């Protein structure tokens, strides 16, 4: 089971790096790149996005003609509830503790780093390579949004941030709006003068009952993920806050869904004689590729060379690819074998760790056009 990719993954996975606290793993990535003789640069966006690291960027000059490629992976994970002790059982890497493994997205980090090490050690020709490691992806793609994308010379790039078997190419991802909601009622003693109160929590509950939530159709979803309010059990709650989101691959459907959610909030506030405030923020924008697009064709060619059956899918989630596509670059998300991400059952196979290194090399080969 020994492999360079496995050893590096075990090392990185054991370093905690929840969103905003990525410093330790960033330092390891910087040291790795410098040990390869490269000169990585860390930008100053850490304070801007509330992270202990800035985005890490490094470039390798082309050795042959062809299509330069950039690769992006994020260094943060969702919050771990326990330490990470990676163990390998029957060719599968898991956490020995009841917590995330961190394959999202450290498996991608490993593929990028190990592929570049191989390129340099083996003198493999390439048409230009850029690596980008971002912060705070899990909480809104914040590092990627803060990065100065004009630094990228390549116009075609890849992220490996889809929890599925290698071979799946993501042709599109949705737009998302985040909705911050606050109901304002009137406090009163719940036992002595309840009729004088106006329950903000009751208003929120009615609003939730009126909303369409979950899967709306094949392109659209909605969710209310956080709710809090009130001050004590014996006080009619004078406030209640909710955090909701709506996603769709279709901008018109997204707008209609958000409006229907606002209508439900307004109705519920009126019935409960409360006030309601809403703040709506576009968190990321949708994109869509055709199978004939260059970035997709290169991916399909590389996957076939590595022996993976090629499939195409749409994603219900976002990745740093959303940011780069919004800014006019062509960035495709490829599945990399992660399973049960964001859960204590998360795992990845050693074969997929090694396979994604080979896929990265195959992408570089497919993009290169040897001189002559």
Q: What is the pLDDT of residue 371?
A: 43
Active-site residue identified among 21, 43, 137, 365: 137
Q: What is the pLDDT of residue 372?
A: 37
Q: What is the pLDDT of residue 369?
A: 74
Is the Cα torsion angle 274, 279, 284, 285 positive or negative in sign?
A: positive
Domains of the chain in start order, with CATH, are: 4-170+286-369 (3.40.630.10), 175-284 (3.30.70.360)
**Are the beta carbons of 332 and 302 closer than 8 angstroms?**
no
Residues with Cβ within 8 Å of 50's Cβ and at least 6 positions away in sequence, in order, are 20, 136, 142
- Write the burial class of residue 218 (CB in 10 Å: 0-12 exposed, 13-18 middle, 19+ buried): exposed
137 catalytic, yes or no?
yes
Q: Strand 92-95 vs strand 86-89: parallel, antiparallel, or unpaired?
A: antiparallel
Q: What is the pLDDT of residue 41?
A: 98
Q: What is the DSSP string of 283-323?
A: EE--EE--TTSHHHHHHHHHHHHTTPPPEEEE-SS--HHHH
pLDDT profile of the chain (372 residues), mean per 10:
89 97 98 98 98 98 97 97 94 96 97 98 97 97 97 98 97 97 98 97 98 96 97 97 97 97 98 98 96 98 97 96 98 97 96 98 90 40
365 catalytic, yes or no?
no
DSSP 55: P
* pTM as predicted: 0.92
Active-site residue identified among 21, 76, 104, 130: 76
Report the interhelical angle of 350-367 vs 4-13 (nearest 10°): 110
**Are the beta carbons of 282 and 212 closer than 8 angstroms?**
no
Give the C-alpha separation, 128 to 61, whole Å. 5
Neighbours of 27 (CB within 10 A): 15
């Amino acid at each position: 089971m020994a492999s360079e990719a496995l050893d590096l993954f075990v090392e990185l996975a054991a370093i905690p790096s929840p969103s905003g606290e990525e410093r330790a793993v960033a330092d390891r990535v910087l040291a790795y790149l410098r040990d390869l003789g490269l000169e990585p640069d860390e930008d100053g966006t850490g304070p801007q996005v509330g992270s202990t690291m800035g985005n890490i960027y490094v470039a390798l000059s082309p050795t042959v003609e062809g299509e330069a490629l950039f690769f992006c992976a994020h260094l943060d994970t969702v919050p771990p509830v326990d330490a990470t002790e990676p163990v390998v059982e029957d060719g599968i890497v898991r956490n020995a503790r009841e917590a995330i493994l961190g394959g999202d997205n450290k498996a991608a980090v490993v593929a990028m780093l190990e592929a570049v090490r191989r390129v340099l050690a083996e003198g493999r020709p390439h048409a230009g390579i850029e690596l980008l490691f971002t912060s705070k992806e899990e909480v809104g793609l914040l590092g990627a949004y803060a990065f100065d994308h004009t630094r990228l010379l390549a116009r075609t790039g890849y992220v490996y941030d889809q929890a599925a078997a290698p071979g799946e190419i993501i042709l599109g991802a949705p737009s998302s709006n985040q909705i911050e909601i606050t109901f304002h009622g009137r406090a009163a003693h719940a036992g002595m003068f309840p009729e004088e109160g106006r329950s903000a929590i009751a208003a929120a509950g009615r609003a939730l009952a009126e909303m369409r939530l979950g899967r709306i159709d094949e392109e659209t979803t909605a969710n209310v993920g956080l709710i809090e309010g009130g001050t004590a059990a014996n006080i009619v709650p004078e406030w209640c806050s909710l955090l909701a989101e709506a996603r769709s691959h279709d901008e018109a459907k997204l707008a209609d869904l958000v409006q229907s959610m606002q209508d439900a909030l307004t109705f519920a506030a009126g019935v409960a004689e409360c006030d309601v405030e809403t703040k709506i923020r576009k968190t990321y924008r949708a994109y869509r590729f055709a199978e004939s697009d260059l970035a997709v064709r290169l991916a399909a060619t590389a996957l076939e060379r590595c022996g993976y059956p090629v499939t195409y899918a749409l994603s219900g989630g976002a990745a740093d690819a959303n940011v780069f596509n919004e800014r006019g670059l062509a960035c495709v998300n490829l599945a990399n074998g992660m399973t049960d991400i964001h859960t204590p059952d998360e795992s990845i196979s050693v074969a997929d760790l090694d396979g994604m290194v080979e896929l990265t090399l195959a992408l570089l080969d497919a993009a290169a056009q040897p001189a002559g």
